Chains A and B, each alone.
Chain A
Amino acid sequence: MKRSRWYYVSLGIVYFFLLGPFLIIFAAAFGEESTLSFPPQGFSLNWFANVFATEQFIYSFWTSLQLGLLATAIALILGTPVAYALTHFHFPGEGLVETVFSLPILVPGLVIGLSMLQFFVLFGKFNIVSGLLIGHIAILFPYAVRVVSVSLRNLDPSVEEAAINLGANRLRTFFLIVLPNIRAGIAAAFILGFITSFNNVPVSVFLSGPGIQTLPIAMLSYMEYYFDPTIAALSTLLIIFSIVLVQAAERVLGLSQFV
């Protein structure tokens, strides 16, 4: 089939606007000048060195990493039973439960962040770390429920019935039969959840506090004072980090069948 000229033109436009910004950042990260500019002048790896020399970034990277891993794990531990209930039982208020659990996807992040902050202030006693953790669990929870639900729905219900028929109770059936067969879905949910948490700004911005920042928040505050290519270098590293993570997941698990 001969493709028309318009096919290539529209494809070019899409790629230009999708990838162009990334390419500019990528190129700017290697410039010598101390302001972010494009096209870059000269070539230097100093800004990458600067990323690793900036304590703020290193600390907040670890914060984000730990927060992402822990929040995702908790969201999955809480979300899997919910997904199991939603896919296995019919109960009054089922629709309401599903709606409530998808609220954090539907409501703008800033609104969630603000409401969380108000809530924590009103009910006091929450330190910044637990506030951040609860906030992140809340935004990851719906993803966990959804992705796990999808893989539960893909499992033939008679496989579970076979286990029950052979003498296993529901709990043993879940751990011996269901869980091993939704491993890939759980792993996919984990990676999606982790990336969502790792990239989150609107909720973290309200819940961060003195001394405790996530990486995106650290980047925002850095940019308030400096406008040098360090940010571009860090962004480049983060893009590579995300791509590697998602590609690995796609290879191993076939991530795209769950989302």
Chain B
Amino acid sequence: MLEITDLRVEYEKGVPTLDHYDLTVHSGELVSLLGPSGCGKTTTLRAVAGFVVPASGQITVAGRDVTRIPPNQRDIGLVFQSYALFPHLTVAQNIAFGLRMRGVRGSERDRRVAEALKLVDLEGLGGRRPAQLSGGQQQRVALARAVVIEPQLLLLDEPLSNLDAKLRVTMRTEIRRLQQRLGVTTLYVTHDQIEALAISDRVVVMNQGRIEQSGSPEEIYKQPATPFVADFLGFENHFAGTVTAVQNGETQLQAAGRSFTAIHADHDLNPGNDVWVYFRSEAAQLAAAPAANSLPVEVLLRTFQGSAVEYVVQSAQGEFKVRMPEDQLRFDPGPAHLLLNPQQLIVMPKT
């Protein structure tokens, strides 16, 4: 549906913001671009919308090459971070604007505007001005305005970042339901990993103008492919090690004189490779006695967090965070053993 091939974008000559960038979004799919500010995710979106002219490469939408088509002829819906509603027009006039530009008039226009208002639950507010609406309502108007033209592709640029935390969760569900109901192919830009995981069919993690990893939310969350993705997706802990053996889907590692086993290492690893081992704070457990895949640690701090308890521990491999259910054995500062779950150890080559 959306096909980006070998795209290169330069704001400054010779300094690419995006380079060798390939991305495919299938029909009806919601793909989010996730990454820190400056990673090129908004640039990608603006290139698709036509506000950024690429230095090279190709963008096609539904088989039509739009790379050189001006932004007002692309038939793509766009929702801005600032909503960008027209302040001098009413809600209904805002929504009608795209139809007006397409020469849709009279009762047909009124009907479609009314339908769009209903779609975003704003019936009866058509006569208001944007300034008279709450942030969430303005967001819905922006959505209605973008989808009323029945675009081939919907682009959303950090649509929730101006809302408070509670509304963000509500709106994100609404956006997803609306997207599924309309079946509109959608590209969603965000820097919020929870939002991306919750809303997407597929998450594309970007860093410095390149794609780090692309996969389902589960894959991205559980099997980060690069240290960057692991850090960005909130893996609290990592340490360095060396591969000693690879067999039967198990990787044997050596780190600071101890050996560990990790299952499901996706990479082509060979004995002797230097690797990073990442694990989440929930993937480890404190124990009183050593066991397989354990290492001796010193408990430094215990923090009660309601349903869970978080420990900060010191080991020969560095400082780790460990999160355990609240009802488990309590560890006070002092020596203990840290058990690492081999299923949840992510091993990736050092580059």
- Could you list which residues of chain A lie within 8 angstroms of chain B, going by C-beta atoms? 156, 158-159, 161-169, 172, 177, 180-181
Contacts and interface: CB of A to CB of B under 8 A. Distances in A.
A166 B80 contact: no
Determine the main DSSP class of A at the interface with B: helix
Contacts, number: 57
Most chain B C-beta atoms within 10 Å of own C-beta, residue among A156, A163, A166: A166
B84 A158 contact: yes
B78 A172 contact: no
B86 A177 contact: yes
A28 to B, nearest CB: 48
28 contacts: A156-B84, A158-B82, A159-B86, A161-B49, A162-B78, A162-B80, A162-B85, A162-B86, A163-B86, A163-B97, A164-B72, A165-B49, A165-B71, A165-B72, A165-B74, A165-B76, A165-B77, A165-B78, A166-B72, A166-B101, A166-B149, A167-B73, A167-B98, A167-B101, A168-B97, A169-B70, A172-B101, A177-B86
Interface in B78-98: 78, 80-82, 84-88, 97-98
Contact of B82 (A156, A167, A168): A156
A166 B84 contact: no
Interface residues of B, number: 24
B69 to A, nearest CB: 12
B145 interface: yes
Contacts of B49: 161, 165
- Nearest 3 pairs of A and B residues by beta carbon: A167-B101, A166-B98, A158-B84
A250 B145 CA distance: 35
A252 to B, nearest CB: 16
A96 B275 CA distance: 57
B80 A161 contact: yes
A155 to B, nearest CB: 9
A178 B88 CA distance: 10
Contacts of A164: 51, 71-72
A168 B99 CA distance: 10
A74 B231 CA distance: 60
A166 B78 CA distance: 8
Contacts of B76: 165
Given A162-B84, A172-B101, 4 more contacts: A158-B82, A162-B80, A164-B51, A165-B76
Contacts of B81: 158
B250 to A, nearest CB: 52
B102 interface: yes
Contacts of B51: 161, 164
A192 to B, nearest CB: 23
A167 B80 contact: no
Contacts of B78: 161-162, 165
Contact of B84 (A161, A168, A172): A161
Interface of B: 49, 51, 70-74, 76-78, 80-82, 84-88, 97-98, 101-102, 145, 149
Nearest to B87: A181
Determine the main DSSP class of B at the interface with A: loop
Nearest to B142: A162
A167 B74 CA distance: 8
B102 A167 contact: yes
Nearest to A166: B98
Nearest to B79: A162
A127 B173 CA distance: 71
Given A162-B78, A162-B80, A163-B97, A168 B86 contact: no
Contacts of A180: 88
Contacts of A168: 72, 97, 101
Contacts of B85: 159, 162
A205 B24 CA distance: 70
B72 A167 contact: yes
A158 B80 contact: yes
A133 to B, nearest CB: 33
A172 B86 CA distance: 14
A161 B71 CA distance: 9
Contacts of B145: 162, 166
Nearest to A161: B51
Contacts of A169: 70, 72
A158 B142 CA distance: 12
A164 B101 CA distance: 10
Nearest to B46: A161
A251 B95 CA distance: 32
A33 B294 CA distance: 109
B6 to A, nearest CB: 25
Contacts of B101: 166-168, 172
A71 to B, nearest CB: 28
Nearest to B74: A165
A33 to B, nearest CB: 57
Contacts of B149: 166-167
A185 to B, nearest CB: 13
Nearest to B155: A165
A158 B85 CA distance: 9
A113 to B, nearest CB: 41
A64 B72 CA distance: 45
A159 B84 contact: yes
Contacts of B77: 165
B324 to A, nearest CB: 46
A10 B145 CA distance: 58
